[in-house]
Amino acid sequence: MKKASVYILLFFYVLVQLRPLTVVLQDVIAHTFFKMQHMATIHYENGKYHLHNELKTIAEEDNSSSSEKIPSSQKTTETDSDQITHEIHFNFETHSISVLHAINSDQNSIAGFTSINAPPPKNDLS
């Protein structure tokens, strides 16, 4: 019984953590299987940015519930400019290797191969 209660608590914890993902998953399923009904109801009432509004509402609820949990003595007056931001920059440099070679008179410089004056190999299919 103790093990089952741990699994149930873990399940609900993961479910709460993945709540924004469930909203996105519901929208994908609605667009895939119930597109006409979804467009006629949800998109007609809330517009094409209904998913953005739902995610914004969830984020605001999470922020308000987390600020309620903090005791008033520990609350800080942070503004958006006081928060630390992290920027990640990816540098995709391409390195090319230049190989110098001499072009012979019997080499085709456009195709990059040497022409050989020999007959093609014979196939022994017999």
For the segment 50-95, what is each residue's pLDDT rounded down to a tens digit?
888 888 888 888 888 766 665 555 555 555 555 666 677 666 666 6
Report the C-alpha gap between 47 and 125 in whole angstroms.
69
Q: Is residue 43 exposed (0-12), middle (13-18) or buried (19+ Cβ within 10 Å)?
A: middle
Within a domain: 126: no
Domain count of the chain? 1
Residue 83, pLDDT score: 61
- Which region among 6-10, 60-64, 91-95, 120-124 has the lowest average model confidence (pLDDT)? 91-95
- Is 54 buried (19+), middle (13-18) or exposed (0-12) by CB count in 10 A? middle
Q: Is 25 inside a domain boundary? A: yes
Q: What is the pTM of this model?
A: 0.41
Q: Quick one: tokens of 47? A: 């517009």
Of 23-32, 63-72, 82-91, 100-109, the range with the lowest mean pLDDT is 100-109
- Amino acid 34: pLDDT: 87
Q: Which domain holds residue 52?
A: 19-69
Would residue 94 count as lying in a domain? no
Which amino acid does the sequence have at 39? Answer: M
Q: What is the DSSP letter of 83?
A: S
